[in-house]
Structure 1
Amino acid sequence: MTDTWSTPYWPEGVPHDIEGYNKPLFSILDDAARDYPDHTFTIFNGGTRTFTRVKETADRVANFLAGKGIGKGDRVAIFLPNLPHYPEIYFGILKAGAVCVTCNPLYTAKELNMQLRDSGAKAVFCMDHPEFYPLTVQAIKKTDVATVVVCNVKSYLPFLMGFMGGLLGKIPKAASHEPGHIMYDEMVRNARPEAPAVTIDPMQDLALIIYTGGTTGVPKGASLTHANFVHNVMAAHAWTRIPHEPNGPAENLRKGGYHTYLGVLPWYHSFGMTLVMLWSTYTGSKLVCIPNPRDGDPPFTVVLEAVQKYKTTVMAAVPTIFIAFTNHPLLKNYDLSSLMACGSGGAPLPVEAAKQFEAKTGAIIFEGYGLSETAPLAALNPCNTETRKFGSVGFPVPGTDVKIVDLDTGTTPLPQGEDGEIAISGPQVMAGYWQKPEENEKVFRQIEGRRYFLTGDIGNIDGDGYVTITDRKKDMILVGGFNCYPREVEEVLYEHPAVAIAAVVGLPDPKSGESVRAYVQLKPGETATEEELLAFCKERLAGYKRPRSIEFREALPVSQIGKVLRRVLRDEELKK
């Protein structure tokens, strides 16, 4: 193993390895329904469902799919936002022996069609909605999809809200439905609560195909097994040790309804799926469904309301969401004191953003690191303020090994402290990219008898064993032969009191090869000039790292999970 294992800062009480993850992913729902049958699981606009009811509905979904001839290894797509239907459908697909294909609900018909064709999906679950449903109808053309199930939210609302919403026409629904398409509620009523008997090999059988790489090129389907996810959830749980009362001992998150998870991250993405939907299932906790976190006036108000109303305790989010909290003009109006454990990932967490969030909310953020290809968690900071190291992503989680290897071949481990490509080995690493053997050859290496995944991220392991992400391999800027990492420049910009969000890209330059350009979104009510920010950078950065120019924008382009899309900014400039 690497030097991360011998560090004196390894969190007390956390094992180096995990056992017992060789089981079907749907077993975590069955276990929760057995142990906490009457405990609330999903919460949606005040409407609740117990673990027993969610399990029974998942069994009915599996029964329905089996009746449609869908079984072991077949692919079924979920094209939904964070609705309470999601865990029922997700686990139901797995109970049928099939493979979930989770689709971004903001996709266009063309993008969805590509995923349905590439995965060979035989069925799709979509939302009864004037935009989502017609888009699905368009997207299934020239695919293998023969079964479409349409999900309406009315039956998941409290009775009076559902009744009045239906009466006033406030509940979204499509104008009409195609013949043969099935309403979800009707399907649940008619199916038996009996999942078919399927034999799952958790280490080999796929649970999920999740498409990734869309921010850098054509999306590829990361194929992940049941054991990939069960291990990842168990590793996250074993790692996270926090006091549950002031000055109390550090302990794993209490099970059986003690905690409430905030469903602010999309569940189609591995970050929100594993560290919110699946972890809440594993711990028998409540799960608040938030279909669109940007709802409210101003945006994100619905999230603040949910934290206060449901007293959420666990929140996983991307940096832009923490920044949205910190800069929300109505933040002082809400009581966020229930928040106990906050995890950040999906993109580098600016140190200043973390400090401001903690100062304003009283919560503590622990930054982690992972990819869709690793289900996703690979490394995490210790869950205490004494050994958490800002700017790093902590240590590999139990059972995981991280090496820093050379950028050219990806086969030579580099000395501690030296920058190179981050390679990950562990039970959470995907089986491979769906039907793309040539892509698999590019990213997998055998090193010292273990299989490693090359992440495309640049980083190092410091003298204390902490893993630090320097930047994306593809985002590195080469200025006159010197390596400039966008994150380093962005961190400086975040230190300026007027800057809310910053993004840095490299652009072609006839003299230096590439030059640095920055894009900045200011905090509400704040002002700054380009000259002021350039001078600010000049005091803090070497000449080749300084932005040549800075453009101010009202908003920067972000992905569905809130990651700033440097590629979009770069492409816009190149088109000019």
Structure 2
Amino acid sequence: MIDPVWKTPFWPEGVAHMCTDYKFPLFKFLDDSAREHPDKPFTLFNGASKNFAQVKDTADRIGAFLAGKGIKKGDKIAIFLPNLPQFPEILFGILKAGAVAVSCNPIYTASELHLQLKDSQSKMVFCMDHPVFYPNTVKAVEGTDVDTVIVCNIKSYLPKFKAFLGGLLGKIPRAGKIAPGHLMFDDIIASSKPIPPSISIDPEKDTAIMLYTGGTTGVPKGAELSHTNFTYDVMAILEYARFVHGDGKKPERLYQKGFHSFLGVLPWYHCFGITVALLLSVKLSAKLICIPDPRAGKPPFTEVLKAVQKYRPTFMPAVPTIFVAFTNHALINQYDLSSLMGCFSGGAPLPPEVCKQFEDKTGSIIFEGYGLTETAPVVSANPTFKQNRKIGSIGFPLPGTDIKILDIEDPSNLMPRGEDGEVAICGPQVMKGYWKNPEANAESFVHIDGNRYFLTGDIGHIDSEGYVAITDRKKDMIIVSGFNVYPRDVEDILYNHPKVELAAVVGIPDEKSGEKVKAFIKLKQDETATQEEINAFCKQHMAGYKRPKIIEFRDELPISNVGKVLRRILRDEELKNFG
């Protein structure tokens, strides 16, 4: 048993050191809100809304449909969608069938999606009726176990006039011809009864969602996250968070019963977005504002500002680049953003000046946290009010979570207070393990005093006041606008180009995205290529955030004695230019 008391005099007042009552199926959040607040609006999208009772009804029908198609407990079902109102319905429907939701990045190319579907052994995929997403799905399912494709159109989720006008003017995205045998989402809902199968769920052992990550190696792996991993994380966040709900009031727990609303700018295929926006909103019976494309508008991000003014969200979980986009937006002063009470920042370090500018312009408070896909994801957070917040740190572990700083070379040794080492996590949010990868599991966990700790690959320390700080990354991972880019993933694709002999990818500082990808390429003998040629190849084979923004051709790349390209040397060369 881990020590429940985190040693600091700055622990938030009134917050328990342990979290209890979280071992239940994840879909209980939805069932509870639908029972207690059936008429409260849940998903808000383009002027239309669905209440909790309606969302539960659709989720129940999806559960029944899946069971009728022979889906068994533990089968994998992929979701290949942006932040559409169908997403929560599908997620909970999959869980109600006892299946595992495999959440896929909707901007993946066909080849990237194919690898994920094949490795996960997914049997079905939900995708969007869209001229890009649907054709990519059709290509991706070839040679996989997927035998059913369900296509989601947004028309039925729009107000009637908008749906009519959009159809009349051709503004509603459509894929065109749907392949024989592929099913339409609205049809399966209409033909199914809201009676999901009776499934026995062991919340601590049964996987709820599988998310792909590079872990500490950069090789994509499926992180198996149980129902309890997520229910604990939600309940622990709610125990830890304290906010002022009005002038002159003391910080207190978040109000429930539909008081709050969450701005869904984070993608829900990502663990951060699923937990801190989608699941938190369900638990609180709060509204969830669906934002499929936060960059939409002229200039970019204008539509998000409009959504804040229209829907009056109280919370916005986001990555630092979103806060940068808000504060630097040319039209920000034209919009009323005063509804925002709190913003959870994660995914990358938050520059102090960005924090100050955003808070000055909105009146909100940003509290920075830390987590990983493997931890569902939140591990720690700064206190959620300014008195105890320490900007630049990631605060304290959530109630019931422990953080240790271990010797990088020998993880059996603990580092003294104040000294850097590898950050290790123990808590109910730590994943079951990587799907079909015992070697990676053996490398990723260490046992200390009878407890299992996950080795994060991040370097940090605990300061004299008990605040945790992340100082570096052990792994070569690059963070672009909050998205993880693994050099090996990009390099493997570059090696598929017939002219490339060697490739190395590093991250370099960028004012807008935090980091950007730079590729060093050595061409094969007697070959010539242009940056435009490599860019076109990358556009065809990888998602936009992964693509190298800079390509440098070199006659030679630094190589170790065993023939490994030394990214570290190339990265150090680049960082000197920013010194």
Bucket of the pairwise TM-score, normalised by the shorter protein: 0.7 to 0.9
Q: Tell me if 1:377 matches 2:383.
A: no
What residue is the counterpart of 1:499 in the other structure?
Answer: none
What residue is the counterpart of 1:194 in the other structure?
Answer: 195
SS of 2:252's partner is strand
CA distance in 2 between partners of 1:475 and 1:122 (Å): 33
Which letter does structure 2 place at the counterpart of 1:94?
A: L
SS of 2:369's partner is strand
SS of 2:317's partner is strand
After TM superposition, the structure 1 = structure 2 runs for residues 5-404 of structure 1, keeping only pairs within 5 Å, are: 5-213=6-214, 217-404=218-405
After TM superposition, the structure 1 = structure 2 runs for residues 532-543 of structure 1, keeping only pairs within 5 Å, are: none
Quote the offset at 1:253 in angstroms: 1.1
Quote the offset at 1:3 in angstroms: 10
Cα 1:342/1:312, change in 2 over 3 Å: same
Residues 154-207 of structure 1: per-residue CA shift (max 9 Å, x gap): 000011101111111110111100111110001000001001000000000000
On the 8 A contact 2:79/2:102 being kept in 1, the answer is yes
Which letter does structure 1 place at the counterpart of 2:47?
A: G
CA distance in 2 between partners of 1:128 and 1:424 (Å): 40
Which letter does structure 1 place at the counterpart of 2:202?
A: D
Which letter does structure 2 place at the counterpart of 1:197?
A: S
**Structure 2 gaps, min length 5:** 488-505, 514-537, 558-579
Q: Which stretch of structure 1 is more off in the superposition, 217-226 or 201-210?
A: 217-226
SS of 2:455's partner is strand
On the 8 A contact 1:79/1:126 being kept in 2, the answer is yes
Cα 1:569/1:437, change in 2 over 3 Å: farther
SS of 1:242's partner is coil
Quote the offset at 1:250 in angstroms: 1.0
The number of residue pairs the alignment matches comes to 504
On the 8 A contact 2:206/2:227 being kept in 1, the answer is yes
CA distance in 1 between partners of 2:507 and 2:458 (Å): 21
Which letter does structure 2 place at the counterpart of 1:76?
A: I
CA distance in 2 between partners of 1:278 and 1:172 (Å): 27
Residues 380-415 of structure 1: per-residue CA shift (max 9 Å, x gap): 000110110001000000110000001013221111
Seq. identity, %: 58
SS of 1:352's partner is helix
What residue is the counterpart of 1:481 in the other structure?
Answer: none
Give the ranges of 4+ consecutive aligned residues of structure 1 lying more than 2 Å apart after TM superposition: 1-4, 214-218, 516-523, 562-565, 567-576
CA distance in 2 between partners of 1:214 and 1:572 (Å): 27
SS of 1:430's partner is coil
Quote the offset at 1:217 in angstroms: 2.5
What residue is the counterpart of 1:451 in the other structure?
Answer: 452
On the 8 A contact 1:4/1:464 being kept in 2, the answer is no
Which letter does structure 2 place at the counterpart of 1:386?
A: Q
On the 8 A contact 2:100/2:209 being kept in 1, the answer is yes
SS of 1:316's partner is coil
On the 8 A contact 1:404/1:460 being kept in 2, the answer is yes
Which letter does structure 2 place at the counterpart of 1:175?
A: G
Quote the offset at 1:474 in angstroms: 2.3
SS of 1:197's partner is coil
Cα 1:206/1:573, change in 2 over 3 Å: farther
What residue is the counterpart of 1:483 in the other structure?
Answer: none
Quote the offset at 1:353 in angstroms: 1.2
On the 8 A contact 1:45/1:157 being kept in 2, the answer is yes
Which letter does structure 2 place at the counterpart of 1:332?
A: N
SS of 1:175's partner is coil
Quote the offset at 1:417 in angstroms: 0.5
Cα 1:378/1:573, change in 2 over 3 Å: farther
CA distance in 2 between partners of 1:4 and 1:518 (Å): 39
CA distance in 2 between partners of 1:272 and 1:573 (Å): 37
What residue is the counterpart of 1:420 in the other structure?
Answer: 421
Cα 1:435/1:572, change in 2 over 3 Å: farther
Which letter does structure 2 place at the counterpart of 1:50?
A: N
On the 8 A contact 2:4/2:399 being kept in 1, the answer is no
Alignment RMSD (CA, Å): 2.5
Quote the offset at 1:563 in angstroms: 12
CA distance in 1 between partners of 2:45 and 2:432 (Å): 34
Q: Which stretch of structure 1 is more off in the superposition, 175-184 or 404-413?
A: 404-413
SS of 2:42's partner is strand
CA distance in 1 between partners of 2:50 and 2:174 (Å): 22
Q: Which stretch of structure 1 is more off in the superposition, 364-373 or 206-215?
A: 206-215
Quote the offset at 1:520 in angstroms: 3.9
Cα 1:103/1:130, change in 2 over 3 Å: same
SS of 1:388's partner is coil
On the 8 A contact 1:323/1:353 being kept in 2, the answer is yes
SS of 2:374's partner is helix
On the 8 A contact 2:4/2:17 being kept in 1, the answer is no
Cα 1:143/1:219, change in 2 over 3 Å: same
